[in-house]
Structure 1
Amino acid sequence: MIAKAVFTDLDGTLLNHDDYSYADALPAIEFLRNNHIPLILVSSKTRAEMADLCRELSITDPYVCENGSVIVLPKPWVAEFGVDTESLAEQSDCYLAYRGADRAAILSILKPLKSQFQFAGFSDMDVADVIDCTGLSEPAAMNAMRRDATEPLLWHSDGALLEQFAQFLGESKLQLLKGGRFYHVMAQCDKGDAVRYLLNIYQSHIGARVRSIALGDSQNDLKMLKAVDQAVVMPHPDGSYMSDKDLKGELHAPYMGAKGWRAGVEQALLQL
């Protein structure tokens, strides 16, 4: 049997855009579990947000947070796969693999830039502010604020200054990533780096190549989609699909969200 692994974005991919439901994806999730195919969640969400979802879905595989900045490795998984923990940050129930600067370092770099540029990061906001600009519930907003290695911010300066701001960040080996509502300040890593890191561990453990699938819908998923054997591109709300000349042989899921995710996984598994 060929070893396989599935990597997936969350919002608009595994989770519906409107109600964040994953109900329509459950049959495919159960199939992956029954066939011992790892399901690795890869998102801009925080560790606190994603831990809750992994518990709901009974996922015991690693997961990738904050656009690839942090990889969470459950301790039983680390023991099973014989992972070297020397370079990892130990937590009570897991290890963390940081892919660059942690949040404290990022905030120390951003602080002097506030005299030149107008922006508001999560560190400048209280829970009510985050609720107001995200529409999240209070518990969800609190989890979104518990960040390990990125800082989301709202840009209030002239748009023409963004490039200059990004250049200052680049001098400190940081990058500015555009999300839906926010810009994200983070280390120079991405979802593709995290996928390759985990694939290397899987392949070293089994002593053979792992055939991989990834599903995503937006530009910050692109490097993840390019890092796997079979990419599945999810549709946008207007029915369009992200395109890139360097993304070859991708499948297009027929529907948005969980229903399309199930169809995309099933089709990709057949392709492999």
Structure 2
Amino acid sequence: MSMTNASESRVHLMVSTDLDGTLLDHHTYDWQPAKPGMEILESLSAPIIINTSKTYEEVIKLQSELGIQEPFVVENGSALYLPKSKYPHAHSEFEDGGNYWQITFGETRDAIVAAIHKLREQQGYTFIGFSDMTLQQLIEYTNLPEENAQLALQRRFSEPLIWQDSDSNYEQFKTTLEARNFKVIKGGRFTHVLGETNKGIAILWFKAYYEKLHKVPVDIVALGDSQNDIDMLKIADYAVAVRSPVHDYPEFITQGSTLKTQGFGPNGWTEAIQQITRVSK
């Protein structure tokens, strides 16, 4: 990969990162191997924007563990949250969400669940969604600790599911929902049904807002390992496909610089940040 030395340019970096299998280890959810990369970004004052399929509650908890307080995107681009401590002034599109401003790009979970359950009843599709699962079932599927699993169930804008039917029925299911203005995407563990949005839409909105607010040009560094990261990777200036232990790299075309990491998950995350910023270990 050929790329400009981002750390020496006048363009500011903004990192948009997936979580499971990217910043977090796919199996253990450990983020410690990403710490050297995070320290590099902190030294450059480059914000780390979590851009995930996870919920608001999950990200709040994780940010506390990571020691960061930045805007973040949840449920595959369905909503963007900005901490009022850093962004105290309201924007015309902001909704008041307590300590955070909220911008909604997606659909309500109730509408999504109603639509997919009606399809299942009509067509006899076989799948199990989060709304069908008990807490114990979710723990078994994800290997999450009980507290984290409870947070994962607190969804507002999407419904993850495990598809247990044929590929042809999946395509039919997907086509029907897309005709009704929903989006169906595959992540590292689950298939996600959401409104007509994606991770790329949300981070581009924030990039434009950030550039206008701070009057600086911004390059997006996007890191992801799955198909649900493709929309984010496609619009990035530096697109990083992080190596996964369970599936192939996501395939995409972008006009920006691209990198496929050799390291898995958070090890690959640091590898990419070091290469992009040309900072040695």
| Normalised TM-score (structure 1) | 0.89
Cα deviation, 1:246-268, whole Å, max 9, x if unaligned, reads: 46531232311222211211211
User: How far does residue 198 in structure 1 lie from its aligned partner after superposition?
Assistant: 0.9
Question: Identity, % of aligned pairs?
Answer: 35
1:63-212 superposed matches below 5 A: 63-79=72-88, 82-84=89-91, 86-116=92-122, 117-118=124-125, 119-212=127-220
Cα deviation, 1:192-239, whole Å, max 9, x if unaligned, reads: 111101101111112232122111122221221121211122122279
User: How far does residue 147 in structure 1 lie from its aligned partner after superposition?
Assistant: 0.4
Structure 2: which 5+ residue stretches go unaligned?
A: 1-9
User: How far does residue 141 in structure 1 lie from its aligned partner after superposition?
Assistant: 1.3
Q: Which residue of 2 aligns with 1:19?
A: 28
Q: Which residue of 2 aligns with 1:44?
A: 53
User: How far does residue 27 in structure 1 lie from its aligned partner after superposition?
Assistant: 2.3
Does 2:276 correspond to 1:268?
yes
1:197-236 superposed matches below 5 A: 197-236=205-244
Distance change in 2, residues 1:47/1:198 (3 Å): same
Q: Which residue of 1 aligns with 2:37?
A: 28
Q: Which residue of 1 aligns with 2:11?
A: 2
Q: Output the amino acid matched with 1:151.
A: E
* Partner Cα separation in structure 2 for residue 102 and residue 129 of structure 1: 24
Q: Which residue of 1 aligns with 2:6?
A: none
Distance change in 2, residues 1:168/1:63 (3 Å): same
Which deviates more from structure 2 when the two are superposed, residues 151-160 or residues 203-212? 151-160
User: How far does residue 136 in structure 1 lie from its aligned partner after superposition?
Assistant: 2.1
Q: Which runs of 4+ in 1 moved over 6 A?
A: none
What secondary structure is seen at the aligned counterpart in 2 of 1:146?
coil
What secondary structure is seen at the aligned counterpart in 1 of 2:27?
coil
* Partner Cα separation in structure 1 for residue 247 and residue 187 of structure 2: 20
- More helix per residue: 1
Does 2:252 correspond to 1:258?
no
* Partner Cα separation in structure 1 for residue 129 and residue 171 of structure 2: 18
What count of residue pairs does the alignment treat as equivalent? 268
The 8 Å contact of residues 254 and 264 in structure 1, kept in 2 or not, is answered as: no
Q: Output the amino acid matched with 2:30.
A: S
User: How far does residue 157 in structure 1 lie from its aligned partner after superposition?
Assistant: 4.1
* Partner Cα separation in structure 2 for residue 186 and residue 104 of structure 1: 11
Which deviates more from structure 2 when the two are superposed, residues 23-32 or residues 62-71? 23-32
* Partner Cα separation in structure 1 for residue 246 and residue 146 of structure 2: 30
User: How far does residue 144 in structure 1 lie from its aligned partner after superposition?
Assistant: 0.9
Distance change in 2, residues 1:83/1:225 (3 Å): farther
What secondary structure is seen at the aligned counterpart in 2 of 1:18?
coil
Structure 1: which 5+ residue stretches go unaligned?
A: none
| Normalised TM-score (structure 2) | 0.86
* Partner Cα separation in structure 2 for residue 97 and residue 67 of structure 1: 13
